[in-house]
Structure 1
Amino acid sequence: MQISAAALAQMIGAVVEGDAEVLITGPARIEEAGKGHITFLANPAYEHHLYGTEAAAVLVSHEFRPKEQVPATLLRVENVYETVRSLLEIYQQDEAARTVRQISQHASVEDGAQLGEKVRIGKFTVISKGARIGAGTVVLDQVFIGPNVRIGENCTIYPGARILRGCVIGNDCIVHSNVVIGADGFGFLPDGDNHYRKIPQVGNVVIEDDVEIGANTTIDRATMGSTLIRRGVKLDNLIQIGHNVEIGNNTVIAAQAGVAGSTKIGANCRIGGQVGFAGHLTIADGTNIQAQSGVARHIRETDQSLAGSPAYNYRDWIKSSILFTRLPELYKRIARLENQADR
């Protein structure tokens, strides 16, 4: 997309300072921006890049006052980060608007699959019998869509993802590369000889609207019923979600976290990287959990911050951590006092 600074300013509600007719071809980071790019300055630590940039235009706040002459056109806005989000959305939508219904000749779309308008199917992708894909969804190369899977409108499924039988994905979702949705849950029954017999996993995974799932994340199908990922959830890369787990609206989970089966995480929670949850727990809405914590009990009270393994109150954990670093010193002091007492 090529657009003048004046036209783009009108779209994002910016005030132009400089050449309003300079042409903008795309966004870039301020330290990498070249001719035709639009970039942004929100963090003062990057201000020095502004004075030598080759970018065509730079988003800045209304309050920003440059210390030197700026070669680029300035677009002044109320909230730089929010405007950057809107700007990237404009470019993404422009790309999608140029996408017509396109099915690679190397894709396999089985009889009985239903594809909506402007659906794109990449090379070596398999769309199984009974699958339904909504309008505007893009399924890239080497994706497997199992039987009777339902995918909503305007989703993007990146290369190598696997969405297995009967799973449901809502509208406006993003599934990154090598995600597996609907693998069997970890269900086994030991017999008297310590042999483990597999428990059939006959449920599915239901993912609501506006969910993003990072690369190599796995979400297991329910034993019965559904593993449920609610609207607005954002999952990072390399996360394991066990069978019959439920994750509430707008909860975010960072990389390498693991949630054991049948645990229910509430809405608006923020879970750090490498957090582990035991199974069959209930985690209250608004819970914040520090990275590398281990959660082995129910969290009933809302809006708590936790840390540690086992996880407990974050402030108490900070105090305990400080004391822990002083243990060698305290041990020596206690030993000296014991020696004095023995004399």
Structure 2
Amino acid sequence: MEFSVNQIAQMIGGIVEGDGERMVDNLGKIEEGKAKTISFLSNDKYENYIYQSDAAAIIVKTNFTPKKVIKPALIKVEDPYSAFTQLLEEYNKIMSYAKLGVEEPSFMGDNSSIGESHYRGAFSYIGQNVKIGKNVKIYPQAHIGDNVIIGDNTIIFQGVKIYADCKIGNNCNIQAGAVIGSDGFGFAPQADGSYKTIPQLGNVILEDNVSIGANSTIDCATLGSTIIRKGAKIDNLVQIAHNVEIGENTVVASQAGISGSTKVGRNCVLAGQVGVVGHIEIADYTTVSAKSGVSKTIKKTNTVISGTHGFDHKQFLKANALYRKLPELHQQVQQLEKIVLNLPSEKKN
């Protein structure tokens, strides 16, 4: 698919210098400079590449003036990085939503419906009483259980499993292998040492503009709903347990695990391999550093947590500095101990 430089400039709100009728059919790195591609320059240390480039166009800052003759057209914007990101998003939408129609074999159960401009890949399964919006793309081998509701413009990639009764909002993106609505880890210990399974009767709700990474798992609630609020972004290989609530625009990085009935506030950041115990609350705008453990409620907003047993970030840095000095401190203590032991004892009267 090709676009003119002028069309791209209109898309990102830029001003063209050079040939606006040149055609672009791909995105590329500025250091590669391939013909018919578009790139961006936001860091001055990469400026030399612009003079060697055969690209059709390069997005630059509004105040950029080339020091030599260049081949590419320039699209001038306030923030080249943000403009290029916007272009990537638009390109991704075009490519993701390009597929249309139904591949066979695929299955749709009784009393289910799907809106216009949809795509259903081969071996996809849609259960009974499912309501799916318009422009939804369901890739091969995806499974959508009974009574599921899916909003407009949502993409469900290969091998995704959405269990019965779950609700997925508009503009969601669920990557390959993710499981939405599997049973929560609910087992009641018995007197004889065995465990009795507690039925998990709730569902999962993903609000609008939620992204779920590949092979992540979001368990259904025991009762009620596990909820991922609008704009939240969940990375690959994340475990979210039953009755958890993730706040708006919160991001959770890979290999993090959140235990049951915990509530995470909005605009939080949980870095890679973070572990969170159950039945606590994490305040809005909290950042939890990689490999940290959160074992109690965080009430104060804008808190940064670090450490295996997470505590205040500044205290953690001080403690970590002391930890590195432990061998020296230990040696000093031993020396002081020798001095004290060799002090003359007080004479008795």
CA distance in 2, matches of 1:98, 1:270: 33
| Aligned amino acid, residue 28 of structure 1 | G
Aligned to 2:41: 41
Q: Is the 8 A contact 2:99 2:137 kept in 1?
A: no
Q: Any idea what SS the aligned residue of 1:324 has?
A: helix
Q: Is the 8 A contact 2:97 2:135 kept in 1?
A: no
CA distance in 2, matches of 1:189, 1:303: 37
User: What pairs with 1:168-247 in structure 2 (closer than 5 Å)?
Assistant: 168-247=167-246
User: What pairs with 1:257-272 in structure 2 (closer than 5 Å)?
Assistant: 257-272=256-271
Aligned to 1:28: 28
Q: Deviations over 1:282-336 (max 9, x none)?
A: 1111111111110000001111111112111111111111111111111112112
Task: Give the C-alpha shift of residue 93 in structure 1.
Answer: 4.0
Q: Any idea what SS the aligned residue of 2:208 has?
A: coil
Provide TM-score, normalisation by structure 2.
0.93
Aligned to 1:135: 134
Provide TM-score, normalisation by structure 1.
0.95
Q: Deviations over 1:171-191 (max 9, x none)?
A: 000000100000000000111
Aligned to 2:309: 310
Structure 1 gap segments, 5+ residues each: none
| Aligned amino acid, residue 147 of structure 2 | N
Aligned to 1:86: 86
Task: Give the C-alpha shift of residue 80 in structure 1.
Answer: 1.4
Q: Any idea what SS the aligned residue of 1:227 has?
A: strand
Structure 2 gap segments, 5+ residues each: 343-349
Q: Any idea what SS the aligned residue of 1:215 has?
A: coil
Q: Any idea what SS the aligned residue of 2:315 has?
A: helix
Task: Give the C-alpha shift of residue 46 in structure 1.
Answer: 3.5
Aligned to 1:18: 18
Residues 119 and 152 of structure 1, relative CA distance in 2, 3 Å threshold: same
Q: Any idea what SS the aligned residue of 1:50 has?
A: helix
Q: Deviations over 1:34-90 (max 9, x none)?
A: 211111122334434333233211111113344554332221101112211321233
Residues 45 and 256 of structure 1, relative CA distance in 2, 3 Å threshold: farther
CA distance in 1, matches of 2:142, 2:2: 32
CA distance in 2, matches of 1:233, 1:119: 24
Larger radius of gyration: 2
User: What pairs with 1:31-70 in structure 2 (closer than 5 Å)?
Assistant: 31-66=31-66, 68-70=68-70
Q: Is the 8 A contact 1:171 1:210 kept in 2?
A: yes
Residues 245 and 98 of structure 1, relative CA distance in 2, 3 Å threshold: closer
Residues 325 and 63 of structure 1, relative CA distance in 2, 3 Å threshold: farther
- Percent identical pairs in the alignment equals 43
Q: Is the 8 A contact 1:26 1:91 kept in 2?
A: no
